[in-house]
Amino acid sequence: MRVGMGYDVHKLVEGRPLILGGVEIPHTLGLLGHSDADVLVHAIMDALLGAAALGDIGKHFPDTDPQYKGISSMKLLEHVRLLLEKNGYVVENIDATVIAQKPKLRPYIAQMEKNIAKTLGIAKEQINIKATTEEGLGFTGTEEGISSQAICMLNGFYESSMVVGGGSKCAGCSGCSRS
């Protein structure tokens, strides 16, 4: 079992869409960044990469690389999923919080969870997203920016207690007596 945490923040500006969890949310301000600046997905990616000891999103998707200019963070999350698979990890669960004074995010959370679960190839029940304000305090409370925090748990294919394929035999490698 491996645990990772992620944190991200982006400044709110005019003339940009507000995208959180792959959902475009109607608002007068959007998040500034090299990609689509999806602060929620960025925090989740950092948590996943950290749990797998694979660095952070800056290492994999530097903001100096023009190929990531304006890219959907959901595409970046897909790349993180592939890195986890390549390194033998499965996502057990993700818990994330978005900190924003406005807009109210409750109507969009179910779609965010669905988008992220689909991209990661996990069940919607393995991800929980919450939203909160800071009661007018700090940079999020004064609507200068939005931040997000995430924590996740990963298991390695070989340390997981799950039995792939059902029954007493797994459908995986030939490295143990269960195959």
Residues at the binding site are 8-10, 34-35, 42, 56-58, 61-65, 132-135, 139
- HEC string of 96-163 equals EEEECCCCCCHHHHHHHHHHHHHHHCCCHHHEEEEEECCCCCHHHHCCCEEEEEEEEEEEECCCCCCC
Q: How far is CA 150 from the centre of its chain?
A: 7
156/27 Cα distance (integer angstroms): 40
Q: Which residue, among 58, 70, 62, 66, has the nearest Cα to 30 in the 3D structure? A: 70
Task: Report the distance separating Cα 32 and Cα 10, nearest Å.
Answer: 6
Please give the annotated binding residues for a divalent metal cation, written as ranges.
Answer: 8, 10, 42
